[in-house]
Chains A and B, each alone.
Chain A
């Protein structure tokens, strides 16, 4: 499945394909065949490669949405193919999480641009690189055309990262373990797979192997990109809790607990993690649960401190996102603001902001997941 050759031994991906998809193993074979190594970057002959590699990263940081360019006339095929692994090395040497994510996304978006109009056999070949179980379908059902059938597990691995309704598996035609998809959809899912793959490549610790001269270029690159590569500051949440800013789901859970009504385990977890994240003290939350029919102080304390990250795994939990609350039947239905957020904390932060007139609060979108 990792081979670029079909049954007859005929090459499916040409050199110009490898320019488009430099993450394919055949591109790496090509790099090996040319006996290219990092230290060669200092050789003046390879200056165009180093230059193109730097440009790949600069493009990722300066375009919006990020996308690495494709200029078959500006660079030779070999410069293009060699500059990809070189750029991975540079991105790793920059040792900045934002650069890593941005660069991987820019390369993946570039690939998406080609994939959406690519021939079926090439798409299947590229998907096979990532172990996808996919086949061409070419089927019309009523007024919808389906080009591919993809194993539902391979679908889920990528689609769960998208939040649009159309990507929910329940909104797809699923039959015999396969999800029926258009070419456009497969290209989009592959973009995600490519993005994660490139990110994982940048994770490798390569910095130690980089020659001194190249490191100087990395320092220059850092200066060029310094504006762009500042880390986003972490979210700050005020310690004074504003009940009126709670989203409907949390308001309901909060009043149910206050009244001593039974609340499911999922509901308790959601509420506790929410309250901790908006700044309520664990002690105050324990008092809140005191009215529950099955209150046991020892257990409640352990669980709340666990969610707060003070016990056990030491991870502080964030409350489930809206999708998950909906799955567990904890969402009461959206109000106006709900329609514009995907996470109960985002709702709270937005609403809380309007209660704090005059105060200068930086409010960031809470990261999904």
Chain B
């Protein structure tokens, strides 16, 4: 049995037994649905369902590799794009380790040069070191470090949505994407009609794009004779406080190189490093703005504008500003992993364990030949690393390896 058939059978069995795990979206009749199919490899779009049962039947019957629905509401979801009649759209955020630098440096990902076949680890380089080719085949893996990084970004995002933009926990829906990240969706009648420009402003807000410290309390105060600097405080609201906390975080560990990169003078950098403890202590009083000789408004402005990157949420910017976006349906399987996209209340964001709670296949063992895979954890068990070897593994691990095209089935029984 080939991999695709095996995966499809497992998906089919899962949907037959667990179809009610699907979270039917609000106003199902106004949503567009899209599916990718195992064999055809193409997207079937512009589908509409009046009631949840029809959707469930469709999934059971066709066993798609991925199931999507529109964050948007339409008068006629089945119509062509420009004839659908857009009624509004939920506010949607996608946080994916693909877009975020991670401490694992994606060492588990591999790339192969299309020109000469040269292979390497991590993110693909600009140019192939062997033939200078610039086009690569890439294989990605999901690891705990990637997921943890994505979780931290999600926490920052949710904080901003609640503290700054004032959404209630009831209006915010969090989910694990089923692969390397998290989805955050705001369902509120107030945001439905926001156009793409307004959503882009929200994107810039949460990512800190275009921020300037001079609008967040950094200013020169004085009567001409004596001038002193004022700046934001740690407990200030909004980006004002975030800017201060970002500077705090940055200066806690900043190295000589980090500071010079900002274009600060050598003497100033030395003074900052020599006074690190005093700077950190100064936040309890008036902040560090007047402590470092030679560091004025322009210098602090650079430091703050950089400190902001510690506090910003690294979301996929395109997804949020697109008011026609299709997103994965919660309760369905991800075709690249066999893991569930699964929702959880925001109160659980700190302790939610995607590699336990998103497991879909809980019984059965299968023998596979694994080409290559790094060590990975599912639930309490750690598997691998594998390199060109046979292994008998639980079904969830097998499906993950097969979906990642890292193994093939030997024993055929599910």
A176 CA to B238 CA, complexed, in Å: 9
B14 in the interface (beta carbon within 8 A):
no
Known contacts A143-B221, A171-B216, A326-B210; decide if A176 and B201 are in contact (CB<8 Å).
no
Chain B residues lying within 8 Å of A175, measured Cβ to Cβ, are 163-164, 166, 237-238
Query: Is A274 an interface position by the 8 A CB rule?
Result: no
Contact: A153 with B190, CB < 8 Å?
yes
Question: How far is B219's CA from A260's CA once the two chains are assembled, in angstroms?
Answer: 47
B318: which of A143, A261, A264 is its contact (CB, 8 Å)?
A: A264
* Bound complex: CA A266 to CA B200 (Å): 13
Mark each residue of chain B from 294 to 322: 1 if its CB lies under 8 Å from any CB of chain A, else 0. Answer: 00000000000000000000000110010
CB distance from B196 to the nearest CB of A (A): 9
Q: Are B81 and A166 in contact (CB under 8 A)?
A: no
Within 8 A of B (CB), among A207-263: 256, 259-262
- Is B194 in the interface zone, CB < 8 Å from A? yes
Q: Is the CB of A143 within 8 A of B204?
A: no
A327 to B237, CA, bound (A): 24
Closest to B215 in A: A171
What is the 8 Å Cβ interface bit string for chain A, positions 135-164, against chain B (1 contact, 0 not)? 000000111100000001100110110000
Chain A residues, CB < 8 A from B114: 293
A182 CB-CB contact with B under 8 Å? no
Contact B135 A327 (CB under 8 A): no
Contact A141 B190 (CB under 8 A): no
Q: How far is the CA of A291 from the CA of B207 in the complex (A)?
A: 33
B interface size (C-beta, 8 A): 50
In the complex, how many angstroms separate the beta carbon of A270 from the nearest chain B beta carbon? Answer: 11
Residue pairs across A and B with CB atoms within 8 Å: the count is 126
Known: A141-B217, A177-B167. A327 touches B239 (CB 8 A): no
* CB <8 Å contact, B204 and A141: no
CA distance A114 to B141 in the complex (A): 61
Chain A residues closer than 8 Å to B195, beta-carbon distance: 160
Q: Across the interface, do B198 and A327 meet the contact criterion of CB distance under 8 Å?
A: no
Give the contacting residue for B210; candidates A171, A173, A291; CB below 8 A. A171
The listed residue (A169, A261, A293, A327) touching B126 by CB distance below 8 A is A261
Cβ of A165 under 8 Å from chain B: yes
Which chain B residues lie closer than 8 Å to A326 at the CB level? 209-210
Chain A residues, CB < 8 A from B82: 312-313
Distance between A366 CB and nearest chain B CB, rounded to angstroms: 17
* A327–B81 touching, CB < 8 Å: no
The reply to whether B230 and A142 form a contact with Cβ atoms under 8 Å apart is yes
* A132 CB to nearest B CB, Å: 13
Q: Across the interface, do A177 and B217 meet the contact criterion of CB distance under 8 Å?
A: no
**Shortest distance between the CB of B292 and any CB in chain A (Å):** 20
Decide if B165 is an interface residue (CB 8 Å cutoff). Answer: yes
Chain A residues near B208 (CB, 8 Å)?
170
A to B CB contacts below 8 Å, 24 in the list: A142-B217, A153-B194, A153-B198, A156-B194, A156-B201, A157-B198, A166-B215, A168-B204, A170-B208, A170-B210, A171-B210, A171-B215, A172-B238, A173-B238, A174-B165, A175-B166, A176-B166, A177-B164, A260-B133, A262-B124, A262-B136, A264-B318, A293-B136, A312-B80
Alpha-carbon gap, A143 to B228, bound state (A): 12
Q: Residue B391 at the A interface, CB < 8 A?
A: no
Chain A positions within 8 Å of B151 at CB level: none
The reply on B205 being an interface residue by CB < 8 A is: yes
Does A170 contact B239, Cβ atoms closer than 8 Å?
yes
Q: Closest CB-CB distance, B116 to chain A, in whole Å?
A: 14
Bound together, the chains give a CA A156 to CA B165 distance in angstroms of 12
B residues near A261, Cβ cutoff 8 Å:
126, 134-135
